[in-house]
Structures are given as C-alpha cells and as structure tokens.
Structure 1
Amino acid sequence: MAYGEKVVKVEPGGIEPVAAQDKHGRPIQLFWTWTSPNLEFATIFLGVLAVSAFGLSFWQAAAALTLGNLLGSIAHGFLSARGPVHGVPQMVLGRVAFGYWGNLLPASLMSIMAGAGWFAVNSVSGAFALNSLTGLPVLLCLVLIVAVQILIAFFGHNLVQAFERYVFPVLAVVFLVTAIFIFARSALSGIGGAGGLGGFLLTASAAFGYTAGWNPYAADYTRYLPAGTSRRAVGWFAGSGLFLATTVLMLVGAASVTVGGNASSNPATTFTNNLPPWLAALTLLAIALGAVAANVLNVYSAALAFLTLGINLPLAWRRAVVAACFGAIGFVLAWLGLSDAGHAYESFLLVIAYWIGPWLGVVLVDMHVRRGQVIDSALTDTRHRNWAGPVAMLAGMLISIGLFSNQSLYTGPIPQAVPWIGDITFLVGFVIAAGIYAVWPKTPVRAG
C-alpha cells in the first residue's frame, strides 16, 4: 500500500525494507527528531540526580554529563547513517552481527527497554507535569498522556516525524527561557562536590545510559530517507540534535539543585517551584509535551524491535497493532511506578547501559570489519548464523555486571572492594564485547 509522505495515514506493514517510492525527507529533519524527545523532564532529572544523589558539584556534574552524552551521541550518528542505504530498522541491521536467531537477544531487550521501561518512565514524568499544571488527578493525567502517545505511534513514521517537528519550536523556546532563569538564580559552586571519582563515573555512566539508550533506535528514523542521502549529513544532524538537547537540559537540572526551594512529592512541581507562575505553567506544559515526544519514539521502535523477533502477524497494520499493545503494557507499568519515580528512574538508567554497552561494542566492530561489503542478504536470511555476536555480548554483560555493577539491588565485588570506582559497568561491557568480537571468527554474509 502506498504510504509516501502521507501524514494522517496508518503506516502499513512492519519491518520490510522501505520501497523506493516511499522514500522521502532530508537529513535536517533528524535534528528535531532527536532534539524534541529529549526536551523533557527525564533529561532534566538526570542532571538533578548528578548533584543531589551522586554528590557532584555543578562543574563536576557538567564534565561527567557532557562526557557521557558525547560518547552516546557519536555512536548514534554512526548508526543513523546506515538507515538510508538499507531501508530497514536498527534491530534488523543487527542481524548481520548477531545472526538471524542470535539477534533475538538484543531485539528482546530493546522491546522491553523501549516499550515497557522508557515508556513507563516518561509517561510518569508527563503525568506529574500535567497534574501540577491542571490539578487533575495524577492517574487521569497518566491516562490522557498515554492515550495521545499511543494514537501518534499507531499512525506511524510520518506522523511521529511531523509531531517532533512541530513541537520542537515550542519546547525549544520554553526550555531556553527556563534555562536562562535558572542559571541566573543558581549558585553553581555552592553545593555538592563530595561524590569524588565514584560520583563522576556514576554520573557519566547514567548519562551514557540515557543518551546511548537511543542508539538501538537510530536507523528506525533514517530508513525512509532516499538511499543517496549524504551519510555524513545524516550522522551529523542525528548526533548533534541528541547531544545538544541532552547536555543542555541535564545542565539545567544540575543547576536547579543549587537554586534551592521547597521540595514536593511531585518532581515536576519541585523543579518549577522557583519559577514565576507564568513560566512555571509553560514549563509544565513543555514537560508534558516532551514526554509525549519521547514516548512516541519509544513505543514505535519497540514495535519494530518486537517484529524483528520473527513473529509473523498476518496483518496489514501489524506494526500499528503491536505499538498499541506496548502502549497498554507501558501504561500499567507507569501506573504501578507512580509512587517511587525517582529511585526507579535512577536504577533504570544504569541498567540500560548494562546491555547497550556490550551490544554497541559488537555492532560498531562489525560495522568496521564489514565496511564496504554487501550485507543486505543477511537481513532476511534465516540461515545466517554469526555466534560471535551473541557470545561477545553475553560475555560482556555477564562479566561487567557480575564484577562491576554498583546498584542498590546488587553490588559487584570490585566496587565493594574499591568504592571510589563508582559504576563503570557500561564501559567494561563495551570493551569486553568489542574485544571478543574483534578476535572471534565471524561468519561471512551469503551471496545473493
């Protein structure tokens, strides 16, 4: 069914390569595609945690946050650049490195992360913002936020891209004014600083987990671009949009802690307590819109990852139906998580990095090893096996989590013995997986 540039039309099919007649768009659209979903409270809250929970001063937090975001954004640019050529989602591209069936490992984790975890986290922040703005019950606000998210994701790629484009100027202007106001009132060197190297590594790890958390989505939003689109332009706009939004808002969050003010059980209210009433109202509206901007990507990409598992749904709108199902599951999880959003968010960010680090190590090494090769046949060939991928990823996860994890639920022996090391699980997992995959024999892609 023809789809093309139609916005108010349900995107047909699932994860098949985009047909030539449906290809459209320009690289610059990726800037707001990746800026808009990160102009939201979850981004701000990580900056808050860097000072209030991880014990850093503002300037220490700024360095750690910038480092983590930069690493995740660079990787995002490289991955995004592959979409126009192959015309398939990011998880389908992963079949080259992991094999058709070995790819079930990252695709399953991606489905859970995006469709359940991130969807729930962002829905909670949007619901809290709408509750602070309107006074409506939090549960009703959650229902409204989730309903809008599911509707946009149900229609698919073109409506998602259009929403990100038109919400971008609203979010950018509101958060720019908010940032100026907060920085003008903050005491950037007046709080924190006792976190040491451990707090720095913990913050950098969480920032990387947040930003690299978008890496498994990368090609999902570039696959509709014409095949001849400049790879450099695609990578630049995708990576810079992601880096700018995450870094600026995380620094705003870190600075907001130094302003002080009255705390509230509602994190969004705490953040806006020190703003003038008119700006507080606009900021709360922007937080709610930003949550929707983030979650339409989450539920859309979760549906694509789920279909990558090889589950055959004989439906013309199979992606749309799966997206609606993930939205319903995410709503339930968000409802259950309303009472302890802060602690759950902190733990979730770090857990994300635990699997994405090893996955990213495998994918980036595979891209380097196979550069210039024709890989398209491996994207649909059920006979393609490449056990180097899942073996390297599992080894990276098990070793890094078992030895280096620094969580309230489990702390590995190395941070127990050396507390100042903080949490470097993502880095260790990346290095181990990349190293194993680099030396492990890899299966060539079959011809044809």
Structure 2
Amino acid sequence: MSVTKSTGQDAEYGDKVVAVEPGGIEPVAVADKHGKPLQLLWTWASPNLEFATIFLGVLAVSAFGLNFWQAALAIVIGNGLGSLTHAALSARGPDHGVPQMVLGRIAFGFRGNALPAALMSLMAGVGWFAVNSVSGAFALNALTDLPVLLCLIIVVVVQVVIAFFGHNLVQAYEKYIFPVLAIVFAVTAVVIFSKADPGSVSGTGGIGGFLLTVGATFGYTAGWNPYAADYTRYLPRSVSRRAVGLYAGLGLFLSTTILMFVGAASMTIGGTGTDNPTGTFTAHLPAFLAAATLLAVTLGAVAADVLNIYSGALAFLTLGIKLPIAWRRAVVAVVYGAVGFVLAWLGLSDAGHAYESFLLVVSYWISPWLAVILVDQYLRRGTQAQVAPLLFDSRHSNWAGFTAFVAGLVISIVLFANQTLYVGLVPKLVPQVGDLTFIVGALISGTLYALFKRALLKRSALKQPR
C-alpha cells in the first residue's frame, strides 16, 4: 500500500492501482497525469450496466403508463440530453485537473458553490449509493438465497473498499468488469427482445407519462454530470477534447439507452411478479442466463457505487471543510458508505416507489445547475488562464450564478413538481402535463444567468485576473 501527499507538482501517485490516492481535491500534478480518452467508454458504460438502469425502463411502462415505442422515444430524448451535457463537462477535466464540483466554483463563486456541492455530495454518496446497493443486494439474494441484509452488507463492503483506494482502482474495476457485463447483458437483451411483444401494451400515460419518463431518464443520465471531470482530470492536457467528450458521452448514452429498452421490453412479456424486482426480471430468462444476469447486476451495482462514493467524497471536500489528514478523501468515502448502508437498509421494503421519486428529485436540481454551468462555460470560452486562479480563491464571488440557480430551482418546483408528497400549482390545474420541473428549471436559471452576466459584463471583466 502506498500513501503519499500530492502538492500538485510532484508525481507520486501516477498510474499505481493498489495505492491509496493521496490528498483530496487539489489539482492533479502534471507528472501524475496518465490515460487515454478511450478509457471513458467503459468508465461510463460499466456503472450503467446494472438493474437500476433496467428498472427505469420497467417504470416507463408500469408506472408512467407508456407503451414500448412511446417509452423508447422518451428514453432516447432523456438519455440523449444527459449524455450531451456530460460530454461537454467531461472535456474540461484535462485542462484544470480538478473535480467537477471544484470547477463549479467558477460559475457559483467559492461560497455560493457550497449549495450545489452539498446537493451533489448527498445525491451521490448517500442517495445513489443506497439505490444501487439495494439493487445489488436484491440480485445477490436472488442468486444465492442468502438473507437480503447479509447481501447488502457484502455489496457495501466491496464498494467501500474500492472507493477507499481511489481513482486508479476505481478506473481499473470499471475496465476489467466491462467485458463481463457487456457480454452477459447483450445475451440477456437478445432473449428479452425475442420474447417481447411491443404491441401488447396499449399505453395510457399520455403526454404526462411521456414527460415523466423524459424527466426520470434525464435525471438518471444527467445525474452523472456532476461527476464528469472527476474521471477526466487525470488525463494529460495534450489529449483531444473532442475525443474525451465523445467517449464519455457515448459510453453513457449506449449503456443507459440499451438497458432501459430491455427493461421496457420485459414489461411486454407478462408473467408472475415477485417481491424481488430483480427476480421478476430474470424469471423471463433460462436458468443459467438468469444466474449470470443476477451476478452481472451485482457487479454492475458495485461499478456504479464506487463512482458514487468516490465522487460524493470529492464533492464533500469541495464544501471547504478542512480535514488535516492525508487520507481525507478516503476517510470521507468510508463515512458515506456507512450512511448509505443505513439508508439502503431502510429502503429495502419500498425500493420501486422510492426510486421513481428519487430520479425526479435528482432532475429538479441538476437541470438549473447544468444551465448555469453551461451558460457560464460558454460565456467564458477561451479564458482558461483567467479562470484557473478562481478555483481555490475563497474571495471569488459570483452572486449571479447562485441567484439564478436558486431562482430556477424554487420556482420550477413550486409551480411544476409532481410528487407524492407535493404537487405543484400547474399539475394541480392541468394533471395532463405530468412533471415539467426539469425543463422549466433549466430555462429559468439559464436565462437569468445570461441576463445577469450581460448586465455585469464590464464589472466582471474588471475583476478577472490579467
């Protein structure tokens, strides 16, 4: 085991796999940079080759009332939007060498960035971690008949150990598990599609169900956006930005779209359900393939959650809380693993409904956050040298970004949210609209930020480092 401290200048971590990644959110040392853009294909495909992805396709038909073809179109739109934005954010990692939420300080200011960083930290290190741990535990339970709680403990321990070591071991796991997951799910997809009857489900969800599906799929795929630069910051600055964005976006889009199609198709087969959603899905498969798929679901859940714990820990450190220990990122990862385990344990009894609500809530804050980040990125294009000093400058303030984000978040939720616990004013009056929160939030925040920055253009220019 190797434990080192990175100053951003001396190379001591490099491409070592079985070594605890030092430090926290400091810029990656030039000599530590390594890798190629192609690796992003499996970095983002592997964590989505799991049952949580399939289950979203299931929800599109069973919960949102769409037929297969309606679901397929909604899935393509939601995943396409989330993958495009993911590509754009991933391309910035090699230049600055810092995590995605640190880059957010440019648009939101050092202190204003604390709110989206906190939301990201909770979403990844606790929320998504719990969701995927539950799906992995159910799969292992269906495969082995071990108690579900014991299965959950096994899955969580493996996830935490990998995330504890850090970036290089996480990347290595995604790389070597990718062919296993790809082969198993490819065969599973062929079997499911051969049995499916797309015309057997008429679809009664209407435009409301369609928009709910778009929002949920966008929330799922764009939910990875706040992680984007975390896994490109170690790439050399000489790599092609176009290749970085292409492989990151493609890995995300192909894996999520294909498996969501499989989930939607499985709902057109029929059959007897069980209390275990993974067991219900694999009941359509031959015994040997069902066992292989359950194993793949477990391994895929681990692939997703090592990213969740790792990036959740980085987001926590972005809050500015100082931990005077060399293993600060690793220690935070263990703490999040423990908290996520408790939440997953409590959520075992109502996984399906909790997952549906969680996906929509994710899209609520991701959309306005993305809008501000992308507008800011566009307005600051070609000024990389000028913005770099802002990343760790506690005096840097950008009230326009924070204000636009909060305004878009609050207004869109109050008016358009459509949840069990809260229904916005518009869905109450016109139930057919479904849930437009993620669209409205993005439009409000993006427009407000563009207007604010235009009004303050001269003042902002004076504050930029020369």
Question: One fold, TM greater than 0.5?
Answer: yes
Q: Kindly indicate whether residue 18 of structure 2 is the aligned counterpart of residue 8 of structure 1.
A: yes
Residue type at the aligned position of 2:59: L
In the other structure, the counterpart of 2:52 is 42
Aligned equivalent of 1:271: 281
* Alignment partner of 1:88 is 2:64: no
| Secondary structure of residue in 1 paired with 2:199 | coil
Q: Which runs of 5+ in 1 are unaligned?
A: none
**What secondary structure, in the 3-state scheme, does the structure 2 residue paired with 1:94 have?**
helix
Quote how far apart the aligned CAs of 1:413 are. 1.1
Distance 2:115 2:449 in 1: 16
Distance across 2 between alignment mates of 1:328 and 1:22: 30
Which of the numbers 83, 105, 109 marks the counterpart of 2:119? 109
Say whether residues 1:438 and 2:447 are aligned partners. Answer: no
For 2:25 and 2:276, how far apart are their aligned partners in 1?
A: 39
Alpha carbons 1:273, 1:280 under 8 Å: kept: yes
Q: Which residue of 1 aligns with 2:8?
A: none
1:222 corresponds in structure 2 to 232
Distance 2:205 2:199 in 1: 14
**Aligned residues of 1:100 and 1:384 also touching (Cα < 8 A):** yes
Is 2:89 the counterpart of 1:79? yes
Partner of residue 344 from structure 1, selected from 350, 354, 362: 354
- Is the 1:396–1:428 contact (alpha carbons within 8 Å) kept by the matching residues of 2? yes
State the distance in 2 between where 1:297 and 1:311 align: 21
Residue in structure 2 matched with residue 447 of structure 1 by the alignment = 465
What secondary structure, in the 3-state scheme, does the structure 1 residue paired with 2:198 have? coil
Q: Where does residue 413 of structure 2 map in the other structure?
A: 401
- Corresponding position: 1:380 with 2:392: yes
List aligned pairs for 1:109-148, cutoff 5 A. Answer: 109-148=119-158
Cα deviation, 1:40-93, whole Å, max 9, x if unaligned, reads: 000000000000110000000000011000000000000000000000000000
Distance 1:192 1:73 in 2: 29
| Distance in 1 of aligned mates of 2:18 and 2:121 | 25
User: So what's the TM-score if we normalise by structure 2?
Assistant: 0.95
Tell me what 1:246 maps to: 256
- Residue-by-residue CA offset, 1:287-336 (whole Å, 9 max, x unaligned): 00000000000000000000000011111111000011101100000001
d(CA) in 1 for partners of 2:250, 2:199: 28
Q: Which residue of 1 aligns with 2:325?
A: 315
2-structure distance, mates of 1:424, 1:202: 8
Q: Which residue of 1 aligns with 2:7?
A: none
Q: Which residue of the partner structure matches residue 306 of structure 2?
A: 296
RMSD of equivalent CA atoms? 0.8
Tell me the distance in 2 between the aligned counterparts of 1:386 and 1:325. 31
Structure 1 consecutive aligned stretches of length 4 or more whose deviation exceeds 4 Å:
none
Pairs within 5 Å for 1:201-216: 201-216=211-226
Tell me the amino acid that sits aligned with residue 465 of structure 2: A
1-structure distance, mates of 2:62, 2:106: 42
Report what 1:414 is aligned to: 426
Q: Name the CA distance, whole Å, in 1 between partners of 2:356 and 2:72.
A: 18
AA aligned to 2:406 is L
Q: Is the 8 A contact 1:377 1:446 kept in 2?
A: no
What is the CA-CA distance between 1:192 and the residue it aligns to? Answer: 3.7
Match of 1:177 in 2: 187
Cα distance, 1:419 vs. partner?
1.2
For 2:452 and 2:199, the matched residues in 1 are separated by 48
For structure 2, list consecutive stretches of 5 or more residues without a partner in the other structure: 5-11
Contact 1:115/1:303 (<8 A) preserved: yes
- Partner Cα separation in structure 2 for residue 68 and residue 22 of structure 1: 36
The alpha carbon displacement at 1:132 in A equals: 0.2
Q: For 1:10-44, what per-residue CA distance to the aligned partner results, in whole angstroms no more than 9, with x for missing partners?
A: 00000000001100000000000000000000000
Correspondent of 2:162 among 130, 149, 152: 152
Aligned residues: 448
State the alpha-carbon separation in 2 of the partners of residues 196 and 266 from structure 1.
29
Q: Using the alignment, how far apart are the partners of 2:199 and 2:119 within structure 1?
A: 40
Cα deviation code 1:215-266 (max 9, x no counterpart): 0000000000001110000000000000000000000000000111110010
SS, match of residue 200 in structure 2: coil
Matched to 1:247, the amino acid is T
Whole-Å separation in 2 of the counterparts to 1:404 and 1:234: 35
Q: CA deviation at 1:169?
A: 0.3
**1:425 partnered with 2:410:** no
Percent of paired sites with the same residue: 69
Distance 2:199 2:298 in 1: 30
Shift of 1:193: 1.2
Which residue of the partner structure matches residue 107 of structure 2? 97
What TM-score results when the alignment is normalised by the length of structure 1? 0.99
